[in-house]
């Protein structure tokens, strides 16, 4: 199936590039492009049911990254429509589901909030339709892992035409560009002074460029960058909201790490069943700092104390026992003569050949 990865990715980028040129996020525009390209024919071909299931999973896995950052909001909408079309036009029975990894769930929730706040209700309808049909398969990893696979995995390349560029101005005007402009301006001033000296005239007041242009340009770029960050955090109306069509590339690694840690602590926090040969030992779980439920802290029962140990404990607690325990034990052993007080001999087991 590795042969189909390249053609599938090329077809997905082709339909998304045509959808990008429409400058729309409506499902009507995407469905027109889908019908024009007859995109559902990618599932046509003579394959066995097992091969068709594998190929369908590969197609859904190839289209899934376009539904996530760092792509623009329009491309992510196109990726959602593409997954919706592939899910409904597949030829497998039962239908193969779309894998959603744990690390991508926060981005999907943020995408849904952006669509609701921007009133793109067709996007919200398609997403909730897939949830209603139970088309998603929630997994730990976005791709299936296989045992003892030593091949080096191919790195997914991000299409630069679909990438979101929130900082075009800052990337266009960098420090190297400003230094080059400053050098050109200094060279211009020197050439202007040299020409005036050669002609024997005073330096002309005419200037073809503005003085301190690099510094002014730098200040303008920094001011625009600060304004852009302020708008991103507070919103265009000054309200503290994260709504908008754009998506943020910040991944909340701390939340994901804490969630994984809690799952691991719950799975590894169970007490292991002790074999019969080791059940006389006391087993206690150390769950300090693991974040598990206190009800999971189990321990095996201790061996019950003997009658003599319990009697001594009760008498000591009451304060009846004095400093000489031997004298006291002779007083309460009334039924046994002193000369016959001895330990019961142990029976030796006879050795059998």
Residues 144 and 57: beta-carbon distance below 8 Å: yes
- Beta-bridged to residue 137, according to DSSP, are 99
Where are the alpha helices (H) located in 49-135, listed in sequence order? 49-63, 73-89, 105-117, 121-132
Domain of residue 188: give its range: 169-234
pLDDT confidence of residue 307: 81
Residue 11 sits in the same domain as residue 130: yes
pLDDT in tens, 47-90: 899 999 999 999 999 999 999 988 999 999 999 999 999 999 99
pLDDT confidence of residue 294: 46
Q: Mark which of 164, 180, 215 sits at the end of a domain.
A: 164
Q: Is residue 346 part of a domain?
A: no
pLDDT confidence of residue 162: 74
**Secondary structure of residue 299 in the 3-state scheme:** strand
pLDDT confidence of residue 231: 65
Residue 198 sits in the same domain as residue 143: no
How many domains is the chain partitioned into structurally?
Answer: 2
pLDDT confidence of residue 109: 94
Q: Is residue 274 part of a domain?
A: no
Q: Mark which of 234, 258, 280 sits at the end of a domain.
A: 234
Residue 139 sits in the same domain as residue 225: no
Q: Is the pTM here over 0.75, yes or no?
A: no
Residue 157 sits in the same domain as residue 196: no
Q: Is residue 148 part of a domain?
A: yes
Q: How many CB atoms lie within 10 A of CB 166?
A: 16
Q: Is residue 64 part of a domain?
A: yes
Residues of the chain with pLDDT below 50 are 236, 239-251, 271-272, 274, 279, 283-300, 322-324, 328
Residue 173 sits in the same domain as residue 156: no
Residue 135 sits in the same domain as residue 7: yes
Residue 33 sits in the same domain as residue 175: no
- Residue 314 has phi, psi (to 5 degrees) of -65, -40
Residue 51 sits in the same domain as residue 158: yes
Q: Is residue 40 part of a domain?
A: yes
Q: Is residue 23 part of a domain?
A: yes
- Give the separation between CA 265 and CA 286, rounded to whole angstroms: 11
Residue 145 sits in the same domain as residue 183: no
Residue 213 sits in the same domain as residue 102: no
pLDDT confidence of residue 291: 47
Residue 138 sits in the same domain as residue 16: yes
Please say whether the dihedral angle defined by the alpha carbons of residues 321, 322, 323 and 328, taken in this order, is positive or negative. negative
pLDDT confidence of residue 250: 44
- Give the separation between CA 77 and CA 70, rounded to whole angstroms: 13
Residues 40 and 89: beta-carbon distance below 8 Å: yes
Q: Is residue 54 part of a domain?
A: yes
Longest dimension (CA), the chain: 140
Residue 115 sits in the same domain as residue 133: yes
pLDDT confidence of residue 249: 41
Question: For residue 86, which of 52, 40, 119, 122 has the smallest C-alpha distance?
Answer: 40
Query: ∠ CA 136-142-148 to the nearest 5 degrees?
Result: 130
Q: Is residue 63 part of a domain?
A: yes
Q: Mark which of 234, 265, 290 sits at the end of a domain.
A: 234
């Amino acid at each position: 199936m590795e042969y189909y990865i390249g053609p599938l990715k090329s077809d997905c980028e082709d339909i998304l590039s045509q959808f990008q040129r429409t400058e729309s996020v409506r499902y009507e525009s995407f469905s027109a492009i889908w019908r024009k390209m007859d995109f559902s024919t990618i599932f046509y071909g003579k394959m066995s049911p097992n091969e068709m299931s594998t190929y369908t999973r590969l197609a859904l896995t190839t289209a899934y990254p376009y539904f996530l950052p760092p792509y623009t909001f329009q491309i992510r909408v196109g990726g959602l429509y593409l997954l919706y079309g592939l899910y409904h036009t597949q030829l497998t029975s039962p239908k193969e589901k779309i894998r959603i990894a744990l690390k991508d769930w926060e981005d999907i929730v943020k995408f849904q909030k952006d669509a609701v706040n921007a009133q793109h209700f067709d996007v919200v309808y398609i997403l909730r339709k897939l949830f209603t049909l139970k088309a998603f398969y929630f997994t730990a990893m976005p791709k299936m892992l296989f045992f003892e696979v030593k091949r080096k995995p191919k790195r997914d390349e991000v299409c630069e035409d679909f990438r979101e560029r929130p900082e075009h101005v800052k990337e266009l005007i960098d420090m190297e560009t400003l230094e080059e402009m400053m050098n050109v301006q200094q060279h211009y001033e020197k050439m202007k002074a040299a020409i005036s000296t050669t002609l024997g005239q005073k330096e002309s007041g005419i200037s073809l460029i503005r003085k301190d242009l690099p510094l002014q340009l730098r200040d303008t770029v920094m001011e625009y960058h600060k304004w852009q960050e302020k708008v991103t955090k507070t919103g265009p109306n000054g309200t503290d909201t994260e709504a908008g069509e754009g998506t943020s590339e910040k991944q909340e690694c701390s939340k994901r790490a804490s969630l994984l840690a809690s799952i691991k602590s719950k799975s590894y926090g169970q007490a292991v069943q002790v074999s019969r040969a080791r059940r006389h030992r006391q087993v206690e779980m150390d769950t300090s700092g693991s974040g598990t439920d206190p009800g999971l802290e189990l321990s095996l029962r201790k061996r019950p104390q003997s009658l003599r140990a319990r009697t001594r404990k009760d008498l000591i607690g009451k304060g009846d026992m004095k400093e000489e325990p031997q004298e006291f034990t002779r007083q309460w052993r009334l039924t046994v003569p002193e000369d016959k007080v001895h330990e019961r001999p142990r029976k030796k087991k006879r050795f059998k050949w």
